[in-house]
Structure formats: structure tokens, C-alpha cells
A and B are shown apart, each in its own frame.
Chain A
Amino acid sequence: QLLEQSPQFLSIQEGENLTVYCNSSSVFSSLQWYRQEPGEGPVLLIALYKAGELTSNGRLTAQFGITRKDSFLNISASIPSDVGIYFCAGQLSGANSKLTFGKGITLSVRP
């Protein structure tokens, strides 16, 4: 598996913060985080392009590792609509390189 995500399942209380991780032995030109809600396709949350880049999108914050091999996604003050599967996806350098997805982390939020 090119991209490892942990943990595979996560259940948290509404209002809690959480951090999920994405690791690889490969170097990526970009690293992206997607969320998939039940019955829908994945939706892009954050895209990272520079080593060490820290980017926020509302309550979401993600960082691209210095070595471009890893990333984390932090969700603050979780709410019920944060439920879904969180995928990291990495793209290798080179023309026509494909975006490869991790196995995803399934998040549930307890009210």
C-alpha cells in the first residue's frame, strides 16, 4: 500500500478535536485530503503542494511533511456532519502521474 492511514476507524464525541495521519515511503509532489459522505463521491478538503506547508479550511488544518512523505489532518470542534471517510491521496511527480488514495479513515461523531 503506497499510502498508509491510521487509525482505520475513529469514534469521537461531538466537540472534540482529532488528528489523523497519512504516511508513505514515497515522495509526493502533492498530497490531498478528501472526505466521502455516505452515498456520495469524495470531495476535496485541502490540497498541499510545498514541503512543510500548513493550510486551513475552516475547522480543518493539514500539513505536508518536510520530506513530502507524510501529512496530518486536524479537525477541531467536531460536529455530526464531519462523519464520513477521510482519504489522503498523493500524486507522484511526472507527466500523467495518477492520484493514489490511501485506504481511508472512517469517522463517526457521537452527539
Chain B
Amino acid sequence: DTAVSQTPKYLVTQMGNDKSIKCEQNLGHDTMYWYKQDSKKFLKIMFSYNNKELIINETVPNRFSPKSPDKAHLNLHINSLELGDSAVYFCASSPHGGLTNEKLFFGSGTQLSVL
């Protein structure tokens, strides 16, 4: 009964490959996010979708493409992986989004290692 679940937990791949990370939330929330946590544990937002609509798109290389087929799912596809993409990627959701005072519920993360 995991609230926000993402797969895979670990992803090891070669430079230049294309990979996807999937995320699903069963909380009935309207908004979903992707965050990137670097080796120094700094959490930075990448994207946010509210009811399948992109509302936040930070300065992220266009090799990263989020896709939200419905408001319970937000996937992240990464093309032409680079060494610098190695990080932990977290999916999160919040009840409404687009408003202030939102609380985030995080998945357990996907550790991506690019060799």
C-alpha cells in the first residue's frame, strides 16, 4: 500500500543509453513532481505536473522528458545518459499544487548510476 511508489529502485547503465523511471501515487493527489538529489544530498526540483499539465519546468537539459498519462502517474525518460546524470531521483506528490502551503509526499527514490 505504498503511497508514492517509483521503479526501479536502482538503475545502473552505460553512458549514452536511454532509460525511464516510473512513478505512481495512490493518494488521489493532483500534483506530482520529480526532484534530483545530488551526491551532496542537495534536493532540487526538476518538474511539476498538476492534473497532467506541466506547471514547473526548471532548467533541466532537454534530454529529460517527463510524461504524465494521468494524474496518478508521472514518468521520467532520460535520453543519452551522461556521467553527470548519476544521482538519486525522487518522485513526490502533493494534494493540490498550484497553491501555497503544499505538503510533499515522497517516493523512496531511484538511484541512477551512469558508468
A99 within 8 A of B: yes
- In the complex, the answer to whether A41 meets B56 with C-beta atoms within 8 Å is no
Contact string against A for B residues 76-109, beta-carbon threshold 8 Å, 1 for contact and 0 otherwise: 0000000000000010100001111111111111
Among B13-21, B40-48, B64-72, the stretch in contact with A: B40-48
Q: Which residues of A contact B104 (CB under 8 A)?
A: 32, 34, 42, 44, 89, 99
CA distance A95 to B106 in the complex (A): 21
Q: Which residues of A contact B40 (CB under 8 A)?
A: 103
Q: Which residues of B contact A43 (CB under 8 A)?
A: 106
Q: Which residues of B contact A91 (CB under 8 A)?
A: 100-102
Q: Which residues of B contact A30 (CB under 8 A)?
A: 100-102
Q: How many residues of B contact A (CB 8 A)?
A: 27
- In the complex, the answer to whether B108 meets A85 with C-beta atoms within 8 Å is no
CA distance A104 to B99 in the complex (A): 24
B55 within 8 A of A: yes
Contact string against B for A residues 35-50, beta-carbon threshold 8 Å, 1 for contact and 0 otherwise: 0100111111001010
Closest to A42 in B: B106
Judged by DSSP, the binding face of B is loop
Count A-B contacts at CB 8 Å.
Answer: 67
- In the complex, the answer to whether A99 meets B102 with C-beta atoms within 8 Å is yes
- In the complex, the answer to whether A39 meets B100 with C-beta atoms within 8 Å is no
- Of A34, A42, A47, A104, the residue contacting B101 (CB under 8 A) is A47
Given contacts A41-B90, A42-B43, contact A97 B100 (CB under 8 A): yes
Q: How far is the CB of B53 from chain A (nearest CB, A)?
A: 10
- In the complex, the answer to whether B108 meets A40 with C-beta atoms within 8 Å is yes
Contact string against B for A residues 89-103, beta-carbon threshold 8 Å, 1 for contact and 0 otherwise: 101111111111101
B residues in contact (CB < 8 Å) with A: 4, 40-45, 48, 50, 55-56, 58, 90, 92, 97-109
For the A-B complex with A95-B98, A95-B99, A96-B56 known, give 5 more contacts whose Cβ atoms are closer than 8 Å.
Answer: A36-B41, A39-B109, A41-B92, A98-B48, A100-B45
- 11 A-B pairs with C-beta separation under 8 A: A29-B100, A89-B104, A93-B100, A94-B100, A95-B99, A98-B58, A99-B45, A100-B45, A101-B44, A103-B40, A103-B42
